[in-house]
Amino acid sequence: MYKLTLIIRYLVKRRITHFAVLTVALCVFIVVVVMTVMSGLVGEFKQKNHAFVGDCVVGTKSLVGFPYYEEFMQTLERTEGVEAVSAVVKNYALMRREGDARNRGVEIIGLDPVKHGQTTNFGQTLYHQAGDVTKAFVPAYEPNAVGCVLGIDLALWRNAQSQYTYDAQPAEIGLILTCFPLNARGAPAGAGSVPVSTKRFQYNDHSHSGIAGIDGSTVYIPLEWAQSLCMAGVLKRVTALHVKFCPAVSLEQGCIRVRTLWDQFRQSKQGASNAGLLDTVTVETWKEYRRAVIAPMEKEEAMLSVMFGFVGITTVFIVFVVFYMIVSHKTKDIGVLKSVGASSQSVMVLFSGFAAAVGVLASCTGVAAALLFLSNINRIENWLFERFGFQLWDRTIYAIGEIPHHAEFSVLAVIVLCAIVACQIGALVPAYCAARLRPVETLHGSRT
């Protein structure tokens, strides 16, 4: 019983204990806030990439593309577990406004809006045509013209808080795209003459994928137009097939299935004209397909975890020092307790129980403070920006709307547990030393 009484008294009355609680709480606070924000950002970014790509990509890095894709699309569409397939042409072009001589380089994606809308979140990224993806390339007031969709950052201005000024109707702008068609051998088409093809598109909508690199440089046009502008030759080609699996199919299972099908398909096409182009094609999951942009984020997250591992070690050390000090201040108490019959084990329990109490109190305080902070983090950032012009992430560079602030319960539980364990480890050695002391060793020469 004396243990409980003394633990409470040590906790309440000793200033050094308050510092220990504060230190541990601060560490917990920092870890919770940073982990939540960071894993939120990474998670959000991955989710956006997943939504943008679909589940699996059968594609080539080559701009020449690959033929016979329609046949393989049919094979896939017949395959169980495949929900939708969309053929895509990715290429580069120069773009200028009608009446303006200045060109800028853009990436073009040629797609069938309906199929692509079924495979990816393309439909949801649209603004004016969000309700009806079939109209993505059909300008309302100029039905005979061919429409295009611009990445939102090509179409609209973004203010410093990452907010766009939307138009009620798509502005009436004509855009001229100039492409460099390649033939099936990969050579510029029509050598001798000027090897470019040009086409006017009517601006019809903008697409907001939330991925800054995409939204700032991509123009979406109808698939057939991309093919005729960028690819010369009799055989129709595309650069990628995006595949979406049914919810029941796991990413790995689905991709293995597609890979097998693709290998069979390639074998069956051996000897066909331009069959060599099929050899450049790979089957990748969305993660593999977008690894160039995801990997750096994941690396940052991993580095952060390592850094917080060090924070954890520092916490253990701080707790160790604090407890060592508390125990050395309390050797007299240990002597007194032992002289009235307390056992070594119960002294050990007293100090490790005290450490656990510090751990629980501190991590609860830290978590509570962190949750409070996180729930206000966007408000705080806005205030800082309005007042001092300070922004955690420059919204003109980063496509972050709100700072993520949803802490996961499992993560919190792990952090709290780690904090309590850290306190236990930190207190272990001092508690053990305290328990081993013989009563007289501590009482001899102590005069209070």
Partner 1 sequence: MNETSTNKRPLILKAENVHKSYRMGATRVKVLKGANLSVREGEFVAVIGASGSGKSTFLHILGALDRPNEGDVSFDGHYFSRMGARELNHFRNEMVGFVFQFYHLLDELNVLENVYLPAMVSCGVAGWLGTRGAAKARARELLETMGLQDRIRHKPYQLSGGERQRVAIGRALMNKPRLLLADEPTGNLDSATGNGILEVFEQLNRAGQTIVMVTHDERVAHRAGRVITLADGRVKS
Residues that bind partner 1 (CB under 8 A): 1-2, 4-6, 9-10, 13-14, 332-333, 335-344, 346, 438-440, 443-444, 446-448
Q: How many beta carbons lie within 10 A of that of residue 418, not counting itself?
A: 20
Rounded to 5 degrees, φ, ψ at 240 are -160, 150
Closest CB to partner 1 among residues 8, 413:
8
Residues 6+ apart with CB under 8 A from 141: 172
Are 122 and 133 in contact, with CB atoms under 8 Å apart? Answer: yes
Please, what is the minimum distance in Å from the beta carbon of residue 31 to partner 1? Answer: 32
Rounded to 5 degrees, φ, ψ at 391 are -135, 135
Please, what is the minimum distance in Å from the beta carbon of residue 351 to partner 1? Answer: 14
Please, what is the minimum distance in Å from the beta carbon of residue 428 to partner 1? Answer: 21
- Closest to 57 in 3D by CA, of 194, 254, 224: 254
User: CA dist 173 to 93, 96, 126, Å?
Assistant: 18, 10, 17
Residues 6+ apart with CB under 8 A from 421: 359
- Report the DSSP beta bridge partners of residue 233: none
Please, what is the minimum distance in Å from the beta carbon of residue 363 to partner 1? Answer: 24
Please, what is the minimum distance in Å from the beta carbon of residue 442 to partner 1? Answer: 9
Are 161 and 384 in contact, with CB atoms under 8 Å apart? Answer: no
Closest CB to partner 1 among residues 11, 114:
11
Closest CB to partner 1 among residues 160, 440:
440
Closest CB to partner 1 among residues 182, 435:
435
Segment holding 106, helix H or strand E: strand 104-111
State whether residue 282 is helix, strand or coil: strand
Segment holding 83, helix H or strand E: strand 82-97
User: Any idea how long the chain is?
Assistant: 448
Closest CB to partner 1 among residues 229, 337:
337
Distance (Å, whole) CA 267 – CA 257: 16
Closest CB to partner 1 among residues 81, 439:
439
Please, what is the minimum distance in Å from the beta carbon of residue 340 to partner 1? Answer: 4
Closest CB to partner 1 among residues 1, 168:
1
Please, what is the minimum distance in Å from the beta carbon of residue 322 to partner 1? Answer: 17
